[in-house]
Structure 1
Amino acid sequence: MSPLPAGSVIGILGGGQLGRMIGSAAARLGFDVHIYAPDDSPPAARVAALHWQGTYDDRDTLRQFAESCDVITYEFENIPVETVEFLVSLGATVRPSAKSLETSQDRLTEKRFLNEIGIETGAYEAVDTVSDLETALEALGARGILKTRREGYDGKGQVRLKTRDDLAAAFDAIGAVPAILEAFVPFEREISVVIARDADGNMAAFDPSMNDHSGGILRTSIAPSGLSDTIIAKAVSMGETLARETGHIGVLALELFVLEDGTLLANEFAPRVHNSGHWTPEGCLTGQFEQHVRAVAGWPLGPVTRVFDVEMQNLLGEEALAPPESFGADAVVTLYGKRDAKPGRKMGHVVRRTGRA
């Protein structure tokens, strides 16, 4: 596909805040944006040229959407693989491909894939029954985190376990669905590599950020991470391997645990722009949303030089309703346009530049 000229249409599957920020970046580069989402007036649709409202198995509406777009991307990883495959069967260009999507949708498949391409993870066991859970917990040292294999995010669909816990109740709590038990990892810190790959295989990685989670939800990301150049280079190399082996086109994020001795273990990856990269538009010459648009549109990747030290903080629930001045004069606030400030819901984020890089 030749580079798309300004005025072309970029379609986005999904209508959440990531689609809203991708769409805004695309509009700034001169593209029109069409959103496909089943919801009525989702956040992304309200900054787009057109909103196609339909379910992800509505083939008639999907066909019309595909005919209106020059390239299609997606903003979250739970888009059905069948939807992407159908769009491709119509002749649509979808970036990233279904492989990135399919691999990341199932935690067991994801772990196995990462191991197969040489990226080490913590120990894990497949769990389909309570009996499996008992065996897995014993194998992993009497402690672990039980997670559904599919869906679940921001701490949902997971339970921390010890041997004396009620395992049947824990399995029921996640819906008694196929699951994975992950061993506890004694990490010193968590980081993520946000990296872009274009259709020619060129890659550009942002500085890894140090991430802090609470209740399974990302609260802050800080760049630089404070890690040595050696560890950073290894982390970026792991991200490059992942992008190359999936044939990914666009931005992806690889979350990593850093052990006290500097060992890196992969936690999971997201085949899309990522919450831990929300600082990049304010901290770098090119932000992750513009970079994703560039990659899927066939443009050269932009420079990812970090020009500021930054701290990004997620705004959850009613935190986003605070007066703008309360965030500080140096704060850049991004709100997602969500109408209900539910507890624990990501409503926006704030980025503070803490110094020159």
Structure 2
Amino acid sequence: MMRPLRLVPGLLLLLLSRPAPAPASTVVTHLPGFDGPLPFYLETGYVGVEEDTGAELFYYFVESERSPGADPVLLWLTGGPRCSGFSGLAFEVGPVKYVLAPYDGGLPQLVYNPLSWTKMASIVFLDSPVCSGFSYARDPEGCDVGDYSSSLQVQRFLIKWFTDHPQYLSNPFYIGGDSYAGKVVPLIAQYISEGIEGRQQPVINLKGYLVGNPITDPKFDENFQVPAAHGFGIISDQIYEAAMQHCKGDYVNPVNQMCAEVLQTVNSLISEILDAHILYKKCVFSAPKPIHDAMARKNLLEESVELNEAPARPAIDCLTYGYYLSYFWMNNKMTRDALGIKQGRLVSGKDAKENFPTHMTCQAAYHTISTSP
């Protein structure tokens, strides 16, 4: 006679505490290239943010590994613009990273990152704006959005996401990002604040925002490169003093010939280092941003099944080598199946086929000298 199945009380509590996936989401328990089941809860999915163009944003949600019922929830945006949120997950603050082994044509391997911020926070990594990463629009015009429109779309995303995940509404909520996200993170925080004041439902428990190495005003950012270079010891006291004397604080538009000459020297010295991380080796740029022609691949009506050209292959000890590996991992069918990526349908040719939009992880664009990657 078969015995009735009994659950250990602790296991039952764990199962009951797990969030129910949203209707258009996928619970990912295994990732190609990762040995064994994932030691954290990962959910991916799409959320519609624009009905007219059929725009949908793709997200990766990693639940806090400590106390998900009480720990903060963080929305993380990567720079670019149009860099994938996967950059944040695999190269910045997320729980996985690539094994930096020579690429042999197979599937790159992933391992657990013990320094992940998900040790103490739940994080939503978002492919924003539309047509970044695996986000897409059925109308190509849906890809043409500016900072204000994309920020409003992120607010719509959050309203819908929290509606589908009400168990996190009481958690402290923060918005974070790096590089180009410095432009949109404050905007998103402002729109959410206005929604809270207007009693928009659901009420998001916004506590603040954070930006790392952010782009702000281009004139301010570019002007600060010279004093930053001096502070880091990239240019000498003499060169810095000459720049201050002849450029009068304007290091973007030379005001005279002496200023132009000293700035040429400054720029030559800065060009010798990696401005994203001055202590790292300067290598070939291996993670190109999506080109304009690639936008056609992001409306799920592709006419070409060819992937974008693979990025240049850097040395294995380069900061960008992981980005090189991500190109092959993200564009692998097993990866897309595991993540629940939607397929597009070819609309030309005799035999229509299903096809995936090309994914470019994209390294964040840094415009100021920083000591953090």
Same fold (TM over 0.5): no
TM-score of the pair, normalised by structure 1: 0.34
> Computing the radius of gyration over CA atoms, which structure comes out larger, 1 or 2?
2
Going by fraction, where is strand more abundant, 1 or 2?
A: 1
